[in-house]
Amino acid sequence: MSLKQQIQTQATALTPKLIEIRRHIHAHPELSFQEHETAAYIETYLKGLGLQTQRMANTGVVAVIEGKNPSKKTVGLRADMDALPIVEVEDGRPYRSTREGVMHACGHDAHTTSLLGAATILNDLKDQFEGSVKLVFQPGEEKLPGGASLLIKEGVLKDIDVMIGQHVMPGIDTGNVGFRPGLYMASTDEIYVTITGKGGHGAMPHLTIDPVTIAANMIVALQQIVSRNANPTLPSVLTFGKVIANGATNVIPNEVKLEGTFRTLDENWRAMAHEKMIQMAKGIVEGMGATVDFQIVKGYPFLKNHEPLTHRCIDFAKDYMGDAHVEPLGIWMAAEDFSYYSQEVPSCFYRLGTRNIAKNTGISVHNASFDIDEEALTTGCGLMSWLAIQELNS
């Protein structure tokens, strides 16, 4: 039996166990940097394989599988572990979250499960590859400053030559995966704005400094920074998703609070846009008689897949799955703290298809009804194992 067949056979045989693991993690979600039970569960599993574990960034878990000539080369495999503050839909699923208001709505339960499956396969086949595989179970992907940045500060990359990660994609059918060499995902910044005016009676706006109309003017004007200043070949997004004006039908409030996000794919433009937003906001707000506090919290950098590594991974995936099951991806303006790894070492971040219309698993991530087709776990653990071994042996 070839190495590929061994991996595929083991991945298939592991599927019932993977489903059990994924459902346990899904039913017991934990928010970013609070993944204590999840970390302990992972440690118990890895120790059951005979692996030594290390805690990093408090709730992160790291382990190494050594093959032949373990110091020759090291491939890092990453899975994130945290959940989101979302109330999961009540639709009868037996593994629904037992913690109301916390849900694995982004597939991190599937990522962790896939890497545990890959750990099982790689540990069984460690006499068939050169070098080592470093398993990185990362906390806090969903919350700044991002668990990846903390792990890097603690030295997780010091012996890693390349980093590989996967993320579920409900827009791709189960059994397929997607890759994009080069620029792939955007940087992300959080924006917090307070506009202070002078409140009063809604029937006498001339006696007020209306922060509501001022905020509306500011929001519309700021969009020109994206539409008229950004390089059209590199997308930018500016969105305000939260506006609080706590007045009433006949009450103009004293202040308006706004929260938003800015995303781009160019670091120089990112810095310029920050300055332009602050200058424009102050000019508009102060020109209309109010004051503004405009805070930008810098988040994750853009994610750029290392082109030679990603092209190799595409070829490896086609060999493992067949050409028809490997899809090209476009630029996606969502953000990921895997980007921190991509800034430090050659990295490849790809997508694992989880869509099955018959099972209603095509719903977007970060949605209360999100779910995966659990058959994708077979592909997830098998492909990660194959990519790691092929990269080490290439």
Catalytic center residues:
82, 141
Q: How far apart are CA 334 and CA 264, in angstroms?
A: 10
3-state class (DSSP) for residue 254: coil
User: Angle at CA 284, nearest 5°, toward 281 and 290?
Assistant: 95
Phi-psi region of 57 (alpha: psi -120 to 50; beta: other; left: phi over 0): left
**How big is the chain, counted in residues?**
394
Compute CA distances 109 → 105, 120, 293, 333, whole Å. 9, 17, 38, 23
* Cα-based distances in Å from 304 to 169, 232, 275: 18, 19, 24
Alpha carbon distance, N-terminus to C-terminus of the chain: 20
- Beta-sheet strand order (sheet of 237-244): 237-244, 255-263, 189-196, 291-298
The answer to whether the CB of 215 falls within 8 A of the CB of 195 is yes
- State whether the Cα torsion 96-98-100-106 is positive or negative: negative
Tell which residue, 313, 381, 312, 392, has the closest CA to residue 129. 392
Where is 165: in which H helix or E strand? strand 162-173
DSSP letter assigned to residue 143: S
Edge-to-edge strands, sheet with 326-328: 53-56, 60-66, 132-138, 74-80, 162-173, 347-355, 177-179, 326-328
Q: Which residue has the tokens 């204590």?
A: 36
Is the preceding omega at residue 145 within 30 degrees of 0, hence cis? yes
Supply 91's token pair: 């639709």
What span, in angstroms and rounded, lies between the C-alpha atoms of 300 and 344? 13
Judge contact between 204 and 379, C-beta under 8 A: no
Q: Distance (Å, rounded) from C-alpha 330 to C-alpha 347?
A: 17
**Rounded-to-10 torsion of CA 180, 110, 130, 63:** 130
